[in-house]
Amino acid sequence: MSMLTSPRTWVDISLTALRENWATIRSAIPSDCGVVAVMKADAYGHGAEACCAALRDSGATWFAVSSPAEGKRLRVVFPDGNILVLSYFEEGCQDVLDFRLIPQVWEPWQVDVLEAAWRDRGGRGRIPVHIELDTGMGRHGVRSAGELVRLLKHCREKPFLSIEGAMTHFSSSESLQPDNTIRQIEVFGVLLDLIIEQGVEIKYIHAGNSATAFVPRHIDALRGLGRRCGATLMIRPGTSFFGHAPRFLPSGIIAPPPLKPVLSWKTRVTSLREIEAGSTVGYDMTFKAQRSTRLALVPVGYADGLNRLLSNGGGAIVRGRRVPFAGRIMMDLALLDVTEQPTVSIGDEVALIGEQEGVSVSAYDVADTLGTIPDEVTCAIAASVPRLIRD
């Protein structure tokens, strides 16, 4: 890609790394357990269609998204498999039916919303649903035995419904001491037993996220529950597909799995200048040159998702060296202090996230600077930034 054909800023996607991560995660989970690949938020900002197609070709048969609109997009690359909608499906209820998405329900009125859509579509066939059980996450899901009995009673009156699975979500899967996940698994078991007692046969139970995939004692406990209710266990990793390895606490208790970053975020140097000691740069003059300073302009800013809190810090890589931002990050521009690299030239590729000559800035590095998690960093890269498949 030459300077003249290059976008201002772009993301390179390595489907090779994604496939390798699939293999690493798949081999960590016992072969009799399923994997639901969580691809919400446009595959954590990586581009859902290409990522799902690659995982589908690697053998993925279950995907999860957070809205019917996302599910509808995935259906195009995944004509036959299972697509779960993890939360709020009501707005796109017709799409749930038209694109054979599997919603999660936990309140009786959600069943009524599905029924209305089902009647509207001529009342044919049955709609598979999974029941969400709240075992400690506290955001959604059935919270008590009483609520569960009421929900199941309501479902029994709706022959169009087929309860295919039951799931829960862990709040602290990376914290191994104290191990609140074991407590959640116990509560999950109590609620699952109640489902069975009520005469409902479920095919699948699923729980957990990326961290769960790498904690054998959690998987073993969940498999025990699967056997107890005659259901297949599935684990739902998301972020680890993109190379963001769980950080277990206390640290070092489980070695980080060898996952590879899938995304690199790039731009180019479009202008260079030398400023004298004492000159100031950018909005509010927050950068004051301490010496004669060389600045490189890059056409990327907070409108593209480059967090403004990286101003006068953070770092990008150019010519194999990490350099800080100088002055405030602007809406669609930023400046890098390249004083230490006299050879930097117009057109040079700059990695905002990624690697050059063995030097790297990871989504974790950016997240650590900002006090957040890598998911937020990759999801924040604007949809307008092209995602290019590199390999």
Ligand X SMILES: *Cc1c(COP(=O)(O)O)cnc(C)c1O
- Residues annotated catalytic, as ranges: 40, 283
- Least distance (Å) between residue 40 CB and ligand X: 6
Instruction: Tell me the window of 73-81, 238-246, 297-305, 379-387 that interacts with ligand X (CB under 6 A).
Output: 238-246
Tell me, by CB under 6 A, how many residues bind ligand X: 11
Please report whether residue 210 would count as binding ligand X according to CB under 6 A: yes
HSE (side-chain half, CA atoms, 13 Å) at 296: 29
Quote the crossing angle between the two packed helices 180-197 and 216-228, to the nearest 10°. 10
Binders of ligand X among residues 30 to 89 (CB under 6 A) are 38, 40, 86
- Per CB under 6 A, 21 contacts ligand X: no
Question: Where would I find the beta strands (DSSP E) of 202-307?
Answer: 204-207, 232-235, 263-268, 271-275, 280-281, 287-288, 293-298
Of 209, 267, 293, 378, the one binding ligand X (CB under 6 A) is 209
Query: Least distance to ligand X from the beta carbon of 150, Å?
Result: 23
Compute the distance between CA of residue 362 and CA of residue 345 in angstroms, rounded to an integer: 24
Q: Which amino acid is at 224?
A: G
Q: Is 236 in the site for ligand X (CB under 6 A)?
A: yes
Q: Report 169-188 residues binding ligand X (CB under 6 A).
A: 169
- For tokens 């201002």, the residue is 8
CB of 168 to ligand X, least distance (A): 9
Site map 264..293 versus ligand X, x via CB under 6 A? ------------------------------
Cis amide linkage into residue 324, ω under 30° from 0: no
The answer to whether 374 contacts ligand X (rule: CB under 6 A) is no
Which helix (H) or strand (E) is 352 found in, with range? strand 349-356
Q: Which is nearer to ligand X, 21 or 339 (CB)?
A: 21
Indicate the residue among 103 and 237 with the shorter CB distance to ligand X: 237
The reply on whether position 103 binds ligand X by CB under 6 A is: no
Residues in the chain, how many? 391
Report the residue number whose CB is nearest to ligand X: 238
Return the closest-CA partner of residue 347 out of 275, 297, 302: 297
261: cis peptide before it, omega within 30°? no
Of 128, 226, 237, 305, which one interacts with ligand X (CB under 6 A)? 237
Between residues 262 and 281, which has the closer beta carbon with respect to ligand X? 262
Burial grade of 15 (CB within 10 A; 0-12, 13-18, 19 or more): buried
DSSP, collapsed to helix, strand or coil, labels residue 318 as: strand
CB of 387 to ligand X, least distance (A): 19
At 241, list the tokens.
């597909």
Fill in the per-residue mask, 135 to 174: x = in contact with ligand X (CB under 6 A), - = not in contact: ----------------------------------x-----
Binding segment (CB under 6 A) for ligand X, from list 12-20, 237-245, 264-272, 314-322: 237-245
Q: Distances in Å between the alpha carbon of 138 and those of 26, 142, 357?
A: 29, 10, 45
Q: CA 106, CA 154: separation in Å to the nearest integer?
A: 11
Residues in touch with ligand X (CB under 6 A): 38, 40, 86, 169, 209-210, 236-240
